């Protein structure tokens, strides 16, 4: 069992590792305890630079995230990592990525790593991600790095929670440039062409440049393109520098506050869904529920009225039905 929310919250705010870990378990589960904890933590967020990292499987995201965490550490900063992998309930990332983590990152109290897996409910993953990055931010990490696989709806939602979105490509994974046309181009703040030790990296950069030039209006922020060899930890400082430049841009243009509002909205939206789900579950337990449904079927009650009654949570579902 976890402690009471205020106790956990105090320890989380102090950055205590075990408390952070417990808090993540609480918020991933959702429900009233999670909401109370998040409420306590939320005013203490806003310090971390939250970076979303996305791209096709195998491009080197996990290797990059590990390297970025270590590069941040070398600069005296701390990093929390959330790996979102719907396909894998136990680990995020490839074996090598996890091995690097085991050897380097997790031995260091300045780096914290957590995997999130889908629990199959709609929005569950983005809610858990929003809550998890709130915990890591509140606990004082300088960077929060969120790695997601692919570009499904929940991945796009999760990326919308990040201040800076990094889209990773690698030469030779031919569908990349095509794949990023589907919604990803718009959300990218930074492109990384990884595996620059392989042939074709220059061509990928050229294709990206051409694509960015095609954008109808010149955007206020043109995503820079950084080439890296994550496996050799080359180019990682440049990524950190570009991310810092992007944060300064967000700060100066007021966009940072907008993103924070969006993040809070995601938490509120999910609290609403949770509350609705609880009311519906309670209504279905009501002894009059079956009779209320029969009345709707017979046309003596309308469905909208019954729905309103469910949302009010007043019970007595069959009251007034004869």
Ligand X SMILES: Nc1nc2c(ncn2[C@@H]2O[C@H](COP(=O)(O)OP(=O)(O)O)[C@@H](O)[C@H]2O)c(=O)[nH]1
Selected from 5, 30, 97, 171, the binder of ligand X by CB under 6 A is 97
* Residue 59 contact among ligand X, Mg ion, none, beta carbon within 5 to 8 Å by kind: ligand X
Based on C-alpha coordinates, what's the Rg of the chain? 23
Among 40-48, 60-68, 241-249, 300-308, the segment contacting ligand X (CB under 6 A): 60-68
Question: Partners of 114 in the beta sheet?
Answer: 82
How many residues make up the chain in this entry? 322
**Residue 59 engages ligand X in binding (rule: CB under 6 A):** yes
Strands 190-193 and 79-84: unpaired
Give the footprint of Mg ion on residues 84-113 (CB under 5 A).
93
Helix (H, G, I), strand (E, B) or coil at 281: helix
CB of 302 to ligand X, least distance (A): 51
CB of 110 to Mg ion, least distance (A): 21
**Residue 63 engages ligand X in binding (rule: CB under 6 A):** yes
**Residue 54 engages Mg ion in binding (rule: CB under 5 A):** no
Residue identified by tokens 């709130």 is 134
**Residue 99 engages ligand X in binding (rule: CB under 6 A):** no
Cα distance between residue 34 and residue 46, in whole Å: 19
The Cβ-side half-sphere exposure at 30, using a 13 Å CA radius, reads: 21
CB of 53 to Mg ion, least distance (A): 9
CB of 152 to ligand X, least distance (A): 15
**Residue 230 engages ligand X in binding (rule: CB under 6 A):** yes
**Residue 233 engages ligand X in binding (rule: CB under 6 A):** no
Closer by beta carbon to ligand X, 243 or else 267: 243
**Residue 62 engages ligand X in binding (rule: CB under 6 A):** yes
CA distances for 27 relative to 85, 126, 128, 177, angstroms: 17, 12, 7, 36
Strands 111-116 and 143-148: unpaired
Cα distance between residue 272 and residue 32, in whole Å: 12
Among 62-70, 162-170, 180-188, 292-300, the segment contacting Mg ion (CB under 5 A): 62-70
Run of H or E including 37: helix 32-41
Selected from 6, 32, 57, 320, the binder of ligand X by CB under 6 A is 57
DSSP string, 126-190: HHHHHHHHHHHHHTT-SEEEEEE-S--HHHHHHHTTSSEEEEEE-TT-TTHHHHTTTTHHHH-SE
CB of 57 to ligand X, least distance (A): 4
Closer by beta carbon to ligand X, 156 or else 229: 229
Selected from 80, 93, 124, 171, the binder of ligand X by CB under 6 A is 93
Applying CB under 6 A, the residues found at the interface with ligand X are 55, 57-63, 93-94, 96-97, 194-195, 197-198, 229-231
Applying CB under 5 A, the residues found at the interface with Mg ion are 61-62, 93
């Amino acid at each position: 069992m976890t402690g009471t929310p205020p106790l956990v919250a105090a320890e989380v705010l102090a950055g205590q590792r075990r408390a952070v870990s417990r808090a993540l378990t609480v918020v991933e589960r959702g429900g009233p305890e999670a909401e109370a904890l998040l409420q306590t933590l939320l005013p203490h967020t806003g310090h971390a630079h939250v970076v979303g990292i996305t791209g096709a499987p195998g491009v080197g995201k996990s290797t990059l995230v590990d390297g970025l965490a270590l590069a941040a550490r070398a600069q005296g900063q701390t990093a929390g990592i959330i790996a979102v992998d719907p396909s894998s309930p136990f680990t995020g990332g490839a074996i090598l990525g996890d091995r690097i983590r085991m050897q380097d990152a997790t031995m260091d109290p300045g780096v914290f790593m957590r995997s999130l897996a889908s629990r199959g409910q709609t929005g569950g993953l983005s809610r858990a991600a929003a809550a998890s990055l709130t915990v890591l931010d509140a606990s004082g990490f300088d960077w929060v790095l969120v790695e997601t696989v692919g570009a499904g709806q929940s991945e796009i939602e999760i990326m919308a929670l990040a201040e800076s979105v990094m889209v990773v490509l690698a030469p030779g994974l031919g569908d990349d440039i095509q794949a990023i046309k589907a919604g990803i181009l718009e959300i990218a703040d930074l492109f990384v062409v990884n595996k620059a030790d392989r042939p074709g990296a220059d061509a990928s950069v050229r294709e990206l440049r051409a694509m960015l030039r095609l954008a109808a209006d010149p955007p206020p922020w043109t995503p820079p393109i950084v080439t890296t060899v994550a496996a050799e930890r080359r180019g990682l400082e440049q990524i950190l520098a570009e991310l810092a430049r992007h944060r300064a841009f967000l700060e100066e243009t007021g966009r940072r506050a907008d993103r924070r509002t969006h993040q809070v909205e995601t938490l509120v939206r999910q609290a609403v869904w949770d509350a609705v789900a609880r009311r519906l579950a309670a209504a279905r337990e009501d002894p009059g529920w079956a009779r209320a449904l029969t009345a709707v079927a017979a046309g003596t009650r309308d469905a909208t009225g019954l729905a309103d009654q469910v949302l009010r949570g007043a019970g007595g579902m069959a009251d007034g039905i004869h």
